Amino acid sequence: MSEQIEQAISRKYDAGFVSEIESDTFAAGLDESVIERISAMKNEPEWMLEWRLKAYRAWLKMEEPEWAHVDYPKMDYQAISYYSAPKSMKDKPQSLDEVDPELLRTYEKLGIPLHEQEMLAGVAVDAVFDSVSVVTTFRAKLEEAGVIFCPISEAIQKYPDLVKKYIGSVVPRGDNYFAALNSAVFTDGSFVYIPKGTRCPMELSTYFRINELNTGQFERTLIVAEEGSYVSYLEGCTAPQRDENQLHAAVVELVAMDNAEIKYSTVQNWYPGDENGKGGIYNFVTKRGIAETNAKISWTQVETGSAITWKYPSCILKGDNSVGEFYSVALTRGRQQADTGTKMIHMGKNTRSTIISKGISAGNSSNAYRGLVRMGPNADGARNFTECDSLLIGDTCAAHTFPYIESRNPSAIVEHEATTSKVSDDQLFLCRQRGLNPEKAVSMIVNGFCKEVFKELPMEFAVEAGKLLEISLEGSVG
C-alpha cells in the first residue's frame, strides 16, 4: 500500500479540547442511592424513580453482551461517575444571556453557535453538556406549531402523561444490558412531540458533548410523531481527547403513528482514542423505532468517532405498508472497532425496508456490519433490499459482514448484495496526476463511495458530513 494513503488516513481530532468549567460531579459508583440522587437532582415524580429502580434491579441480574465483534477489557461500572453538570446550570438560566459564556464558547468552537440569529436558519438545537441540557433554541417558534422540543428532564415534569405513555414502549427497560443501565441512570436527552397532521417547521437537532473526566453520558431521546406528522431530527456528538475510556450508553426511541414519518440522522464524532488505541469513547447505544400503518422511519448515520461502536438502529414495521430505511457510513481507523448495523422487523403486510451500509476501514481498525432482516408470519408481500459495501484502505484493517435473514413468510422477498473493494493505487495515481494531493484524493474517493448515504442527510448536514470525513482522513503530512 502506498505511503501516501497511510499518511492520508493518519488521525487528527478537532474536537478534542477540554472546557474549563466548574462542575458538580457525583463521586464514582453506582447503587440505588445514586439513582435516587439523580432523580432528586432532576426533581422527578415518584413513578419515574420507581421506573429507574426497576431498570437497575433488572440490570444487576443481566450480563454484559459479548457477541459483538469487538474486544475491550471488562468495564468497572463502579469507577464511573453517573452525573456531572456545570455548576452554573444549577440556577437554571432563563435565557442565553444567563448561560455561562464558557459553555457557549465550547459550542461555538465546535461550530454550533447557540445564538438564534447566528444559527443555520431552519435548525433548532438542544445542546446537552455532560448530564444536562444547556439550552434549546427556537422554542417559541416551535410552540406556535404545537411542536414540543425540550430536554427530557423537563418533559418529565411538564408533560408527564406523554412521557409515561411512551418511555420504554419501544426499548423496554430490560431490553438489553446497556439499555437497562441507561434506563436506570439516564440524565438528559431530548423529547420531541409532533402533533397530528403537523409538519415540523424546522430541522430539530441535539448536540451532545461529554466534557468531564471519568463520567459516563447516558442520554435518552424520545420522539413521538402523531398521525400524519413529519419530523427530521439530527444528533451530533463530540468529546475531549483523554487517555481514559469513557462510556456513552444512550437509548433512542421513535414512535411513528399512522402515516407519520420520522427521519433521524446521526453524525457521530466521539473521540476515537489515539493511534495506539488509548482512550476514546465506548459508544454502546440502543436505537429503535416503531412504525404504525403507512408510517415511515428512516435512520441515517455517519459514524466516524468512538473507540468502540456497538449500535443497531432498528425499525419495527408493525403497521401494514410501513417503511423502514437504514443508511449508514461507518469509518474506522487507528485501533477503532465498530460493530454496527440494523434490524428490520417486518410484522405488517406489504412492509418495505432498505438497508444501505458503507463501511470504510483504515489503519489497524476493525469494521463489522451486523444486520437482521426478519419477515414475520403475517408480513405478506413484505420486501427488503440490503446492500453492504466495504472499502478497505491499506492492508492492516478488517471488514466483516454478519447478515442474518429470518423469513417466516413465503411471499416475502429479501435481497442482499455485498461488495468489498479497496482504494486502489490506480485511483490514487489518477487523482494525483490530475494535480490533487493524496489527502484530497483519498477523501474524494471515500466521499464518492459514501454518496448514496450522504444524499439521505438533510442538506445542511450533508456538507458537514463530507467535511467530517475529510478531517478524519486528514493527515499530518509535513
420 sits near another protein (criterion: CB under 8 A): no
**Which CB, 36 or 452, lies closer to another protein?**
452
To the nearest whole angstrom, how small is the minimum distance from the Cβ of residue 446 to another protein? Answer: 9
Site residues for another protein, 2-61, by CB under 8 A, read: 2
Distance from C-alpha of 108 to C-alpha of 354, rounded to nearest angstrom: 36
Q: Which three cell numbers stand for residue 87?
A: 455548576
- Can you tell me which of 111, 115, 244, 429 binds another protein, judged by CB under 8 A? 429
- Can you tell me which of 426, 459, 476, 478 binds another protein, judged by CB under 8 A? 426
Dmax of the chain from CA atoms? 68
432 sits near another protein (criterion: CB under 8 A): yes
Torsion of CA 139, 145, 146, 148, to 10 degrees: -30
Q: Which of 144-152, 282-290, 372-380, 423-431 is the region at the interface with another protein (rule: CB under 8 A)?
A: 423-431
State whether the Cα torsion 406-292-191-164 is positive or negative. Answer: negative
Annotate each residue in 262-291 with x if it binds another protein (CB under 8 A) or - if it does not, as one string: ------------------------------
Burial of 405 (0-12, 13-18, 19+ CB in 10 A): middle
**Which CB, 103 or 329, lies closer to another protein?**
329
DSSP 103-159: HHHHHHHTT---SGGGSPTTEEEEEEETTEEEEE-SHHHHHHTT-EEEEHHHHHHH-
Count other Cβ atoms within 10 Å, centred on residue 436. Answer: 15
- Can you tell me which of 33, 117, 410, 435 binds another protein, judged by CB under 8 A? 435
Count other Cβ atoms within 10 Å, centred on residue 427. Answer: 16
**Which CB, 400 or 440, lies closer to another protein?**
440
424 sits near another protein (criterion: CB under 8 A): yes
DSSP 82-99: --EEEGGGTT--SSGGGS
**Which CB, 128 or 465, lies closer to another protein?**
465
> How many residues does the structure list for the chain?
478
Binding-residue total with another protein (CB under 8 A) = 24
- Can you tell me which of 53, 431, 460, 470 binds another protein, judged by CB under 8 A? 431
User: Contact at 8 Å (CB) between 227 and 194?
Assistant: no
- Terminal Cα-to-Cα distance of the chain (whole angstroms): 19
**Which CB, 92 or 434, lies closer to another protein?**
434
To the nearest whole angstrom, how small is the minimum distance from the Cβ of residue 234 to another protein? Answer: 23
Residues 6 or more apart in contact with residue 35 via CB below 8 angstroms: 49, 52, 53, 56, 184, 185
- Can you tell me which of 434, 459, 476, 478 binds another protein, judged by CB under 8 A? 434
Q: Which of 21-29, 105-113, 261-269, 424-432 is the region at the interface with another protein (rule: CB under 8 A)?
A: 424-432
440 sits near another protein (criterion: CB under 8 A): yes
- Can you tell me which of 98, 275, 437, 463 binds another protein, judged by CB under 8 A? 437
User: Contact at 8 Å (CB) between 311 and 282?
Assistant: no
DSSP state of 319: S
Distance from C-alpha of 145 to C-alpha of 322, rounded to nearest angstrom: 26
To the nearest whole angstrom, how small is the minimum distance from the Cβ of residue 426 to another protein? Answer: 4
To the nearest whole angstrom, how small is the minimum distance from the Cβ of residue 416 to another protein? Answer: 20
- Can you tell me which of 427, 460, 470, 471 binds another protein, judged by CB under 8 A? 427
Site residues for another protein, 443-462, by CB under 8 A, read: 444-445, 447-452
Catalog residues that contact another protein under the rule CB under 8 A: 2, 424-427, 429-438, 440, 444-445, 447-452
